[in-house]
Chains A and B, each alone.
Chain A
């Protein structure tokens, strides 16, 4: 079964440093998402991406965050200057565009970001 691949699985970074989280969505999927989950809390939407541009972003997704799909396969989330409160599990998800009866969202295994 096709998978969404995320790297790294765990990243520790110093406060103020830039981090890039990487995702390889399923190859024929066209919609891409980033979500985050602070430890023990619910999964929160960050941003969606379609046709090489952001289609929607949440209040969490401020100027410190950016996304891009540099080479048609990877989908990255960059945090420019990390804060302690950015520590969370970040999930990438993708989906196909056609509304088949059972279409769903495939989530990656996540990147645990720890800001110290």
Chain B
């Protein structure tokens, strides 16, 4: 059974600082997703990572994937308050219905 672990679960950081969120998963998968969720809102797709070594960047966020280590990272550069949200990684199960298995999420708070 696929398990997805994120850490840290809570992250409080100062504006301008850098930090990394980690996502480990237990079985082989070919697609990893990062989502952002604001309180009471839906899941906003940030990145889809498809292959080993994939790196994608959008603004102050950069995601990478190491399929051999079964590890993805979401790196935040020079954080700003607008990045405050909960970030989820989700891994696609292979075969069957291709459902997503989510991590517990990282609640990020960026303080002025």
Shortest Cβ gap from B101 to chain A (Å)? 7
Name which residue of chain B comes closest to A48, CB basis.
B97
Residues of B within 8 A of A (CB): 33, 35, 40-43, 45, 48, 50, 88, 90, 96-105
Contact yes or no, A55 B96, CB < 8 A? yes
Please state if A110 and B102 are interface contacts (CB–CB under 8 Å): no
Knowing A102-B48, A108-B42, A109-B41, say if A43 contacts B102 (CB, 8 Å): yes
Number of A-B contacts (CB under 8 A): 56
30 contacting pairs across A/B (C-beta < 8 A): A33-B97, A33-B99, A33-B100, A41-B104, A42-B102, A42-B104, A43-B100, A44-B102, A45-B99, A45-B100, A48-B96, A48-B98, A50-B97, A55-B96, A55-B97, A56-B97, A56-B99, A91-B42, A91-B43, A95-B98, A101-B50, A102-B48, A102-B50, A105-B33, A105-B100, A107-B35, A107-B42, A108-B42, A110-B42, A112-B40
14 more CB-based (< 8 A) A-B contacts, given A43-B43, A48-B97, A110-B41? A31-B98, A35-B100, A42-B102, A42-B103, A42-B104, A43-B102, A45-B99, A48-B96, A102-B50, A103-B48, A105-B100, A108-B42, A109-B42, A110-B42
List residues of chain B with CB within 8 A of the CB of A95: 98
Q: Which residues of A contact B104 (CB under 8 A)?
A: 41-42
In the assembled complex, the Cα of A43 lies from the Cα of B41 at a distance in Å of: 13
A8 within 8 Å of B (CB atoms): no
Chain A to chain B: the 7 pairs with minimum beta-carbon distance, closest first: A48-B97, A56-B97, A55-B97, A43-B102, A107-B43, A42-B104, A109-B42
Contacts of A56 in B (CB 8 A): 96-97, 99
